[in-house]
Each structure stands twice: as C-alpha cells, then as structure tokens.
Structure 1
Amino acid sequence: MSASAIVQTQSLTKTYAGIHRVNKVDLVVGEGEIYGFLGPNGAGKTTTLKMLLGLIKPTEGSLRLFGQSLSKQRPFILKRTGSLIESPSYYGHLTGLENLRIIQRLRNAPDRNVDEALRIVRLENQKDKKTEQYSLGMKQRLGLAMALLSFPKLLILDEPTNGLDPAGIGEIRELIKSLPGRYGMTVLLSSHLLSEVEQIATTVGIINEGNLLFQGTMDSLRRKSSTSITLKTGNNAGAERLLLTQGYHPVQNNGRLELGDLDDAQVAGINRLLVAQDIPVIRIEEQSKSLEDIFLELTGKGRSL
C-alpha cells in the first residue's frame, strides 16, 4: 500500500456470468489528486466505483481506502467518503432543502454545511422547490450537494456533469478543480468524455472492456502525443533508399514517408538532400497525435466514445 494513496486496489475483479466486467485492475489514487477514470460506456467504470463503495462485492482482488480494508473498516471509510453514483437519489415530494436535511441528519453535519453545499452548486434560490419539479441538471446539482454535504476527504463522482448545459458543465468543472485546494479533498471521477477529463484531472486512468490500459499523470499521457514528420515525394521508393543511407528510418504509410520526431535542421537537411538527388519534394508535414488519437488507439478505433 502506497503511503500517500487514498485509494488502492490490487487485481480488483468483478465477473458476471463468466465475463470479466472489471479485470485485475490496480488503481492508485494519491492524496489531493483529481483522478479522471476514463473509458467508453460499458468499460467497467461504474462497476469499479461501486466496489470501492461496497455497493457490490468483488469477485477477486482487494481494495483499501485511507489505508484500511473496506471489509474491516467500513464505517471509518464511508464517514470520510462522499459519492454520486449513476443518478442522484432523492424524495421527489420533498424540497431540495428537505432532502439535504435528511442527509445532514445521517451524516451528523452542521447547518452551515447545508448552506455551503447549496451555495456551491448554486441551488440556494431553488432550495424550497420540490425536487420532482427540478430539471435533470438541477437534480444532478442536488446529488452533488448531497455528496459534498459532509465535506469528505474522498469524493467519488460518476459522470458528474451528466444532464448539465454547457454553462453548468463549466461551473461544475471549476468547482471540482477547486476542491483539493479549498477543502483538502481527493476526487475520483469517471467520465466517457476525454475533453472533460483533460481539462480537470491531474491523473488519469483509461479503462476498456474491464482492463486498465493506462494510468499516470495527464502530463505523461500528453507526452505520448509526440510530433512526427511526414514526407511526400515524386519518388518515395528512391527517397526511402536514400534516407536509409543517411541514418534515417522512414516508414511508408499511405503514400507518405513517416520519419518520426525531427528538428528543423534535420528537416531542412532532408529537403536539400532529396532535391540535390532530383527527387521532387511535394509535401512536408508535421503531425502530432492528439489525446483523442491516443485514447482511440488504446480503446480500439472502432469503439464509439
């Protein structure tokens, strides 16, 4: 167990009808991180989060939160954890404030927490409205307020921007980004939207078909998006033979030569070399893999986000 890890799993597995929905996942969420758990719909994100909260039992493997085993220290762990999984639960015939009061009593939280949670999610002017009259976005905000009510050390959110309009998504994004600094929270959130995770997370885990394919900082993921020079000439075969003699390693792909990451001086030298050998240079392009490209490579290009 890592000393600074708030969440750590080892070979965490959940099997239904002989199919691994989560397969030997080793998740590590460090203290103070915003961990983006990214994957297509049906990848195993929600199942993993439910196991972390004890809502479903793992088939195999172990998990520890705050350095403790959930099976042995469940009250200790859950007292320090807030969550919003799938869709928020509420009593439709009660107002938003009345719903929060119920959570307040369960959490033994002070009155000021209720006021602060409503203010954070911007429901203070809608608190006396029955929740059955709330829009989908307002219900999502109420669920987030419930998760925040005790100002937990660990906040687990499953698709937290679901149902929000673009302005609301931006507000919730900025809120989540502020939580580690303002309240000392560690945030673990799932999403199928790479653009959202990219803007909010400090660390990312990419899961697909139950398998954790990547785990690391956002910066380490971005470093995978290295640039590459591609070259199109009037004689690609001749250009390839010539460049091989000069220590380059071109790869033919769709009528172009891929040369990897080169600096400006190398590109200029290659251009001079080819022209001097009467090989016409038609096009030189610098290409880089976007995070979207990397995500699709990891999860399979045919799979929709």
Structure 2
Amino acid sequence: MDTIVTTRSLTKRYGADYRVNSVNVEVNEGDIYGFLGPNGAGKTTTIKMLLGLVKPTSGQVLLFGKKFSENRQAILKQTGSLIESPSYYAHLTGLENMRVIQRIRDVPDKNITEALRIVRLEKQKDKKVGQYSLGMKQRLGIAMALLHFPKLLILDEPTNGLDPAGIGEIRELIRSLPERYGMTVFLSSHLLTEIEQIATSVGIIHDGQLLYQGSMDELKKKHQAVISIKTGDNERAMGLLFHSGFRAAFTDGFLRLPALTDSEVAEANRVLVHSGIDVIRISEQKKNLETIFLELTGKERSL
C-alpha cells in the first residue's frame, strides 16, 4: 500500500511558541485519516504546511512520496482541499463559481455535473451563492475541491456550520470517496463523534504534538470496555471472583473487570449467585473516542 502523506519532524514555531512540534504523520492510500484535536491544537497549521501555504520552521513534507518543496505543481494537480471556509464569489451562481475553478483546473463540463451531483447542489446551481445557506456554501466548497477528482482530498473542519442532517450527508459523502473514486481523504475535526464514525485511521494532536497515530480499530482495542458489577457484598464478591480467576478492582461502589466475553460474564455471575451474593447490576462501559482522548491528554479539556 502506497503512503500518500508523510511528514518528518514537521515543526512550525512562531517566536518561542511551537504551534506544531516535530509531528510525524503517515497516511496510506485509500485511508480516511481523521486528524483530531481541540481548537488551537495545530491542525490547520499542519494542513497549511502540507499544502505549501505555511512554510515549516523545520521538518519535511512528502506527498505521493515526493518532496513538496521540489514537486509543488505536480503534487497540487493531484490534490484538492477545503481549508477553514470555502472561497466563492457571492454575486455569481453556484455553477458560475464552479466554472471559475474549471478554468483553473482545466477539466471537462462533466466534472462540474458530477461534483455538484455528489454534494447534492445540482438543483441550486443557478442560484446566486450569496443566497446560499451556510451548509450549501460548505457543500459548494467541497464540490470545488472535488472538481478535478484528486487522488488526495484535504478537508479542514468540513462540517462547520451544518445542521445534523447536513453533517450526516457530508459524512456519507466522505465515506464513499475512497471506494467510488479511489481518493484518500485527510480530514481534520474537533468533533469526536464525527471522526469516530467516519475515519479508518486517526491522528490525535494536542498542543502541537501528535499523541497517537494508527487505525481506529487499534485505538479502540487499546482502550477496552470495562465490565461493572454491583453486588450486595462487594468485598466478599471481589475475593470470590479472584479465586475463580477474575481480577477485579473496586471503585465508586462497583467491581470493575477488564473486557470479558459473554460466557465469562455469565460465569462470573454464576460464581456470585451460587455463593449467595445478590447481584444487583451488571453493565458494560465502552470507552468512546472522547474518553480515550481525555486519557491520552490527561486533561478534561473541552473540544
């Protein structure tokens, strides 16, 4: 599998302030890479360095295995992007805005038709963009980024300003791009639930440093679910479970056991009931991405 995006010790410093500090990103072909972090973590600065919009203080950017600094034109021909917010001419229609980008990209009319269809703007293409809702403007920006059907699509907070229905539409759109069009997607967001539902791999950045990088499945496996058991005699129950091969910890009125299979949960319940201990409640607590993020950063910080 080819590596589409690579950064090596990528750093951006403003004075003594490190906005991005020695970040090593790796995105493979066909990935939907979720770049996750709170506002101010360094996501947009990293993306701007990927696209040559900000010059790194140190480090290297490679796209499609080539140094960006030496292959700028060739790389940008294969890359589409939407950074921060879409740019458009408000007095022009959606279609006219697309034609402006068409002339720059030198692509056929069918690309405009397909891109507008993908973002579901074909019925509003003749309406002036100044009259578009915020969500429609965001979708037009994505259509512009898709116009030449790039191999790499970089989206910075693409669901900003969208209502729940619009977020769902963009989510389904992004999910379809690798399989339908062979695109690799680099997606930044501070919305944990969005990244959790859409990304195949993830990078978590905090205060300019990359705390985790890998597949979403690997991340979740590292933070397994916990089985919580509440009984009528927790102290005695913990001893019985220990002698039966179950390791439990006692916190907040519950016995906490690491992830167990259904048959193991049933066995633990049997041990307690047969010993005359009332089992009041058994529940499974799965860690979502927000919990994992807070554990990685060590801070309960709002995203």
Q: TM-score, normalised by structure 1?
A: 0.89
Structure 2 equivalent of residue 141 of structure 1? 139
- 1:111 corresponds, among 109, 112, 134, to 109
**What amino acid does structure 2 have at the position aligned with 1:25?**
V
Structure 1 equivalent of residue 122 of structure 2? 124
The 10-residue stretch of structure 1 (139-148 or 205-214) with the greater mean CA deviation from structure 2: 205-214
Q: Describe the SS at the equivalent of 2:162.
A: coil
Counterpart-to-counterpart distance in 2, 1:281 and 1:122? 53
Structure 2 equivalent of residue 227 of structure 1? 225
The 10-residue stretch of structure 1 (101-110 or 237-246) with the greater mean CA deviation from structure 2: 237-246
Confirm or deny: 8 A CA contact 1:225 1:290 kept in the other structure. no
Q: Residues 198-256 of structure 1: CA distance to partner in whole angstroms, max 9, x if unpaired?
A: 22222122222222222222222232352323333444444444544554432221222
Indicate how the Cα distance of structure 1 residues 124 and 287 shifts in structure 2: closer, same or farther if over 3 A, else same: closer
Indicate how the Cα distance of structure 1 residues 124 and 61 shifts in structure 2: closer, same or farther if over 3 A, else same: same
Q: Describe the SS at the equivalent of 1:21.
A: strand
Indicate how the Cα distance of structure 1 residues 133 and 267 shifts in structure 2: closer, same or farther if over 3 A, else same: closer
Residue 37 (structure 1) shift? 1.2
**What amino acid does structure 2 have at the position aligned with 1:252?**
F
**What amino acid does structure 1 have at the position aligned with 2:131?**
Q
Q: Residues 33-79 of structure 1: CA distance to partner in whole angstroms, max 9, x if unpaired?
A: 11111222222111111110011011221110011101111111111
Confirm or deny: 8 A CA contact 1:225 1:291 kept in the other structure. no
Structure 1 equivalent of residue 182 of structure 2? 184
1:1-305 matches, within 5 Å, as: 4-264=2-262, 266-271=264-269, 273-274=271-272, 281-305=279-303
Counterpart-to-counterpart distance in 2, 1:115 and 1:23? 42
Say how many residue pairs are matched. 303
Counterpart-to-counterpart distance in 2, 1:91 and 1:272? 69
**What amino acid does structure 2 have at the position aligned with 1:102?**
V
Q: Describe the SS at the equivalent of 1:14.
A: strand
Q: Describe the SS at the equivalent of 2:150.
A: coil
Q: Residues 92-117 of structure 1: CA distance to partner in whole angstroms, max 9, x if unpaired?
A: 22222222222111111122212222
Residue 88 (structure 1) shift? 0.8
Confirm or deny: 8 A CA contact 1:6 1:67 kept in the other structure. yes
Indicate how the Cα distance of structure 1 residues 134 and 185 shifts in structure 2: closer, same or farther if over 3 A, else same: same
Name the Cα RMSD after superposition. Answer: 2.3
Q: Describe the SS at the equivalent of 2:124.
A: coil
Counterpart-to-counterpart distance in 1, 2:151 and 2:274? 66
Indicate how the Cα distance of structure 1 residues 272 and 29 shifts in structure 2: closer, same or farther if over 3 A, else same: closer
Indicate how the Cα distance of structure 1 residues 54 and 235 shifts in structure 2: closer, same or farther if over 3 A, else same: same
Counterpart-to-counterpart distance in 2, 1:240 and 1:215? 36
Residue 147 (structure 1) shift? 0.5
**What amino acid does structure 2 have at the position aligned with 1:133?**
Q
**What amino acid does structure 1 have at the position aligned with 2:59?**
G
Residue 143 (structure 1) shift? 0.9
Counterpart-to-counterpart distance in 2, 1:271 and 1:169? 42
**What amino acid does structure 2 have at the position aligned with 1:45?**
K
* Segments ≥4 residues shifted beyond 6 Å: none
Counterpart-to-counterpart distance in 1, 2:73 and 2:114? 25
Residue 26 (structure 1) shift? 1.1
**What amino acid does structure 2 have at the position aligned with 1:260?**
P
Identity percentage of aligned residues:
68
Counterpart-to-counterpart distance in 2, 1:227 and 1:80? 41
| Unaligned segments of structure 1, at least 5 residues | none
Counterpart-to-counterpart distance in 2, 1:275 and 1:120? 57
Indicate how the Cα distance of structure 1 residues 71 and 236 shifts in structure 2: closer, same or farther if over 3 A, else same: same
